[in-house]
Amino acid sequence: MSRKKWLMFDRPVTRAEEWKHITPYGYGWPGIKKGRWCTGQLKTHLINKAVSQLRKEYRILHYVGIAADEPERIKGEQYPLHDWGITESQALQICYDRGFDWGGLYEIYHRCSCWCCPFQRIDELRKLRHHHPQLWAKLLDMDDRALAQFGHNALGRFKDHWTVAELEERFAAEDREISLFDNDKKKGVDSMNVLVVEPGMAPYEKEINGLEEMQAVVGGLITALYPFEEKEALVANDEAINMGLEFNRSVEGGYGGICGPFFVCGLGEEDFCSLPPDRMEHYKQKYHHAEILIGARGNEPVTIKVEPRRPPGQEPPKRPPKTPGR
Ligand code: SF4
C-alpha cells in the first residue's frame, strides 16, 4: 500500500503534454484514460523481473492462476487451472475443502483485489464501507489528497462519475432510504416518472405517487438496489424469490438477476426522483429485450434475449375481420 501511495502521489513523473499543468509528482488514480499503471508497476513488472532473474540460472515454467472460465485472459504462460478445466468457483471450493477460507473475504466480496482499486464495482465499494470502515476511511483520505494534488480530472477523480466523498454521500443516503423503508415513513414521497420493467415485456414509463404505488408496481414490499454507476436506483420486490416471481432481467453490480417487476428511478439527495428523459431512453434500450433464464454461472444468470411483448395499452391494433369472399 505504501509503495502504491508513493507512486500515486510522490513519485517524480514526466507528464504527457495534456497533463503538464499538473504537479510533476505522482501518477494519480489508475483509470481508463491513463492506463492501469499499478498493474504494470506493482505486479507484472516485478514478477517478470524476478522470473527473468531466475531464468539466468534455471529452466523456468511461469504458472499463472487464470481459471477455466476466464479464457480471454490466457496469453503465453502456463495456466494449470485452465488446462484442468477448473473454474473460479471450483478453485475457491478446493481452497475451502483444504481449510483455506481467505479470512471469509469471499463470503463478502465478489472478487478480492486491491481494496483501493477504482475499477471495483460500486457494489464492492459499498461493501468495503460497510465491512471494512477503516479501509474506507483511508480511501476517503486518499480521495482528499488526490483531489487537492491533481484536481477534478482523470488523475484526481477516483472514478469518472464519482469521487470517494461523493460515494460516501450516496451510500449514506442509501442507508437513510433503507431506514426510511424500515420505518414505513415513505408515504409522503413526491410523484416521479420512472421506467417500469416487467418480465417478458418491453419497458414503459409510469408516473408513481408514494409508497403504495411503488409497492403496487413491484407487487409487494420494495427493496432498493444500486447496481449502476450513475445516481439511479432499481426498486424491486423484496420477497420476489420467496414469492416465486418470474425471472425478469439480468442486472450488473453483483446482483445477478432480478425476479418480478421492478422500476428504475433517479436518486436525489434524500429521496427517489424522476429519471431525466435521456436516462429514461438509456434504460428503455438497455432493458428492451426480455430475457429467458436458462441456467447460471456462479451468481450470474445465463439467459436468452427475446423480443418483448408490448406493455398494456400499447398492443398493436387488432386487424379488422376479413370480409368473406364472394
Ligand atoms: S486491482 Fe486495481 S488497483 Fe490493484 S493493481 Fe489491479 S488495477 Fe491496480
Q: What are the sequence ranges of the domains in the chain?
A: 2-36+87-173, 179-306
User: Are 28 and 155 within 8 A, CB to CB?
Assistant: yes
Answering whether pTM is above 0.85, one says no
Name which of 14-28, 105-119, 176-190, 219-233 the model is least confident about. 176-190
Tell me the best of 42, 44, 158 to mutate to test the pocket of ligand 1, counting ligand atoms within 8 Å of each CB and taking the most.
42
In the predicted structure, residue 80 carries a pLDDT above the cut 90: yes
C-alpha of residue 98 to centroid of ligand 1, in Å = 28
Q: Looking at ligand 1, which residue's alpha carbon is closest to its atom 2?
A: 117
Distance (Å, rounded) from C-alpha 248 to C-alpha 64? Answer: 37
Taking residues 273-295, what's their average pLDDT? 94
Q: Looking at ligand 1, which residue's alpha carbon is closest to its atom 6?
A: 39
User: Are 292 and 304 within 8 A, CB to CB?
Assistant: yes
Condensed to tens digits (0 to 9), the pLDDT of residues 15-54 reads 888 888 888 899 999 987 667 899 988 988 999 899 999 9
Q: Looking at ligand 1, which residue's alpha carbon is closest to its atom 4?
A: 114
Over the chain, what is the mean pLDDT? 87
- The pLDDT score that the predictor gives to residue 184 is 43
In the predicted structure, residue 164 carries a pLDDT above the cut 80: yes
C-alpha of residue 235 to centroid of ligand 1, in Å = 31
Name which of 57-61, 208-212, 297-301 the model is least confident about. 297-301
Higher-pLDDT residue of 142 and 76 is: 142
In the predicted structure, residue 1 carries a pLDDT above the cut 60: no
Cell 451468481: give the residue.
299
* Cα–Cα–Cα angle for 147, 150, 154, rounded to 5 degrees: 90
C-alpha of residue 82 to centroid of ligand 1, in Å = 22
Higher-pLDDT residue of 277 and 35 is: 277
Phi, psi angle pair for 133, to nearest 5°: -60, -30
Taking residues 60-69, what's their average pLDDT? 89
- The pLDDT score that the predictor gives to residue 187 is 46
Give me the count of residues in the chain. Answer: 326
How would residue 186 be classed by pLDDT, with cut points 50, 70 and 90? Answer: very low
Measured between alpha carbons, how far is residue 45 from residues 38, 56, 76 in Å? 10, 17, 16
C-alpha of residue 6 to centroid of ligand 1, in Å = 15
For 125, the grid coordinates are 465499494
In the predicted structure, residue 313 carries a pLDDT above the cut 80: no
Condensed to tens digits (0 to 9), the pLDDT of residues 284-294 reads 999 999 999 99
Three-state secondary structure readout of the chain: CHHHHHHHHHCECCCCHHHCCCCCECCCCCECCCECHHHHHHHHHHHHHHHHHHHCCCCCCCECCCCCCCHHHCCCCECHHHHCCCCHHHHHHHHHHCCCCHHHHHHHCCCCCCCCCCCCCHHHHHHHHHHCHHHHHHHHHHHHHHHHHHCCCCCCCCCCCCCHHHHHHHHHHHHHHHHHHHCCCHHHCCEEEEEEECCCECCEEEEEEHHHHHHHHHCCCEEEECCCCCCEEEEEECCCCCCCCCEEEEECCCCEEEECCEEEEEECCCCEECCCHHHHHHHHHHCCCEEEEEEEECCEEEEEEECCECCCCCCCCCCCCCCCCC
Percentage of residues in the chain with pLDDT exceeding 90? 50
How would residue 116 be classed by pLDDT, with cut points 50, 70 and 90? Answer: very high
User: Any residues with Cβ below 6 Å from ligand 1, and which?
Assistant: 30, 36, 38-39, 42-43, 113-114, 117, 119
Phi, psi angle pair for 57, to nearest 5°: -110, -30
In the predicted structure, residue 326 carries a pLDDT above the cut 50: no
